[in-house]
Amino acid sequence: MIIKSTRIPTAHSSRIAAYLANSADNECATWIRGCPEDLKLLGEISRISGKQYSVRHFVISPNEQMTQQDFALVFVEICFEYKVSITSGNRASIVEHVRPRRSGIGNETHWHVTFPELDLETGKILSSRFFKIRNEKLARLCELTLGHPVVPGQFSKQVHRALTKERPSLDLAPFETALREAAFAAGQDENRWLDYRPRLLSQSKPPMNWTLNNQVV
């Protein structure tokens, strides 16, 4: 599972709304909750409040099929991790995108979730500290909870330590097994499995870190 997030600038609230509404390369785009006007309204609220960002955009892309109950678990864990208030949670938009697989056989489903950057209940901005590590932790947590295959990421050591501390009842054995197997396959010492990091493919840097056309979905 891959979970990524971006902060959408206030001036581009209409653009994220149009992107999520347009099926583009997707076979279909379904608004499960909310509508494009909701995101435009968040942009207007942030503009009036003088805030730089209006929307926190999450992309949830699982390797396995998920039921509505499975997705609900992921949604709740994101809210818990980022301390999304009930007010902001009720203003979340959820869009399901279905597109053909690259193999040309069947379809794959991923979800987009947006929250207000500005919490009207507390007047605070949604936390963005160490978001890459936190998103990777969320992905591993959901994989382990849902019984999905564990996909090693760039911050496995930090994630493993965090889950050990924060979720002591969670069985981390599949996490260790996945890292051992990945280390062995890469020709590394599997006994140093916690140090394993997959190699990153060389990519050119996008012009903006939130550019919608470059989202990994």
pLDDT in tens, 78-107: 999 999 999 999 999 999 988 766 654 445
pLDDT > 60? residue 210? no
Higher per-residue pLDDT: 121 or 157? 157
CA-to-CA distance for 33 and 35, rounded, in angstroms? 7
Q: What b/e readout covers 46-83, taking b as 16+ CB neighbours within 10 angstroms?
A: beeeebebbbbbbbbbbeeebeeebbeebbebbbebbe
Return the domain boundaries, the chain: 2-126
- Output the furthest CA–CA distance in the chain (Å, rounded): 55
pLDDT of residue 217: 33
CB-based contacts of 38-42 (< 8 A; 24+ apart in sequence): 38/91, 38/93, 39/13, 39/14, 39/93, 39/114, 40/13, 40/14, 42/13, 42/91, 42/114, 42/116, 42/117, 42/118
pLDDT of residue 120: 81
d(CA 142, CA 210): 24
Q: 90: how many CB neighbours lie within 10 A of its CB? A: 10
Cα 54 from chain centroid? 17
Given a cut of 60, whether residue 209 has pLDDT beyond it is: no
pLDDT of residue 122: 84
Q: 96, 29 in Cβ contact below 8 A?
A: yes
In this prediction the pTM is: 0.85
The whole-number pLDDT of residue 201 equals 53
User: Could you give the percent of the chain with pLDDT greater than 70?
Assistant: 86
